[in-house]
Amino acid sequence: MDLQQLIESITPEIYDNLKRAVELGKWPDGSRLTIDQREHSIRAVIAYDARHKAEEDRVGYVAPKKSKEPCSSKSKPSDVQPLKWQA
What is the Cα–Cα distance from 3 to 42, expressed in whole angstroms? Answer: 13
Q: What is the pLDDT of residues 63-84, one digit of tens each?
A: 888 877 666 655 555 677 777 8
What is the Cα–Cα distance from 32 to 49, expressed in whole angstroms? Answer: 24
Q: Structural domain boundaries of the chain?
A: 3-57
pTM exceeds cut of 0.75:
no
Q: What kind and span of H or E run contains 31?
A: none
Q: What is the pLDDT of residues 43-56, one digit of tens each?
A: 999 999 988 888 88
Q: What is the pLDDT of residues 5-59, one digit of tens each?
A: 888 899 999 999 999 999 999 999 999 999 999 999 999 999 999 888 888 888 8
Residue 87 pLDDT exceeds 70: no
